[in-house]
Amino acid sequence: MTGLSRRSLLGLTALTAAGALTACGSEKKPPKVDPGPKLASPTPELTGTKLGEILTQYAKALEKADAGKNADLLAPRISGSAAEFRRATYAIISKVPEHESALQRPSDKLVVPIASTSEGFPRYALALVDDAANAGEARFFVGLQQKDARSDYTSWGWARQAAGIEMPTVPSAEAGTTQVDLEQQGLVLTPKEALAKYAAVLTDGHDKADPDDLINEDPFQQSAHAEIQGERAQMNEGVDWDEVASVREEYAVKDGEFLGLATAEGGAVVMGTITSTRRVSVNSGSISYTEENLYTKLAGTKKFEKELVRTYGTTVLMHIPAADSGAKIQPIGAYKVLLSVSGS
């Protein structure tokens, strides 16, 4: 099509807007998480039984809120970004009902618990649970945090377990494990540095953002970059690269949400929240979708002369090895949610 320098016609359905890792479907069984040997005291305050009770309350609240598309029903067990992301999803469903498929939900079926032995606060726990709709085929890591002795354990995020990625060994539920903080030393990078570098890799790719090759590739990063390249190719078909439109997604770590627990080999698993903005900038003419899709319905137009902007929130989980291990940082889970769409 020679006219694409002035106008790009996008007849294909929009790329997947929200939800799970593309590579974490039913094609592969979820990797095994190995609970390591039982350790000496101190023991975790949050036992398997108590954790199970919390997860049941959490799952019931999530199921009830999803059924009524009412984010007010998420409290007190679901808070922070998890509640914010769900509220945004409900708002999108109210405008585009078919987006309900994005409401993928962790269950209360506990596979592996990881609890803290810390006597101080905040206190962390991590639970690997089955997907509510695909038990045994897909799993989520649910992060839990207790702010103080009077507070309930709440979850501000969960990440879908990545397929095909080896999971670190964690101490047994009876033994529990120590917590790590954002500035924890003795690791390949501190958790704060690792989360920031991963956000940079998601934004700019490994070659530019990780020249020292400290972070392994993972299905989420590969899928996100493939989506962007696919959009660019659609919009610039038959013309020079980015002549009609350019696509860029920028990621940033959200402050105030962090969870870190030590693994059996001296490393750590850490969870955090990353927000991102994907911007399609029109460089020549306009971009028009020939058919309505999720993005055009939310933006209120099929024609964009300036830009198409989407915002997302993502919960990520990473394994950071010990500094002297010779191993690389490995992202092991992510869950991405579409928050808003705008354009003109």
Q: Which of 248, 234, 300, 298 is nearest to 276 (CA)?
A: 248
What 3-state DSSP class applies to 101?
helix
> Tens digits of per-residue pLDDT, 193-215?
999 999 999 999 999 999 999 99
- Give the Cα separation of 28 and 107 in Å (integer): 19
Amino acid sitting at position 111: V
Whether 341 and 299 have beta carbons less than 8 Å apart is answered as yes
Whether 259 and 182 have beta carbons less than 8 Å apart is answered as no
Amino acid sitting at position 99: H
- Give the Cα separation of 171 and 262 in Å (integer): 8
Q: What pLDDT, on the 0 to 100 scale, is given for residue 39?
A: 45
In this structure, what token pair is assigned to residue 158? 């969960």
Q: What pLDDT, on the 0 to 100 scale, is given for residue 57?
A: 97
Alpha-carbon distances of 171 from 55, 177, 185, 245, 286, rounded to whole Å: 20, 6, 20, 50, 56
Amino acid sitting at position 34: D
Alpha-carbon distances of 344 from 64, 102, 160, 232, 276, rounded to whole Å: 36, 25, 33, 18, 19
Rg (CA), the chain: 21
- Digit-by-digit pLDDT tens for the chain (344 residues) are 322 223 444 443 333 333 332 333 334 556 555 555 544 456 677 877 899 999 999 999 999 999 999 999 999 999 999 999 999 999 999 999 999 999 999 999 999 999 999 989 999 999 999 999 987 778 999 999 999 999 999 999 999 999 999 999 998 878 899 999 999 999 999 999 999 999 999 999 999 999 999 999 999 999 999 999 999 998 898 888 789 999 999 999 999 999 999 999 999 999 999 999 999 999 999 999 999 999 999 999 999 999 999 999 999 999 999 999 999 999 999 999 999 999 99
Instruction: Provide DSSP, 272-297.
Output: EEEEEEEEEEE-SSEEEESS--HHHH
Q: Where are the domains of the chain?
A: 2-343
Instruction: Provide DSSP, 205-259.
Output: -HHHH-TT--B---HHHHHHHHHHHHHHHHHTTTSSTTSSEEEEEEEEEEEEEEE
Amino acid sitting at position 88: A
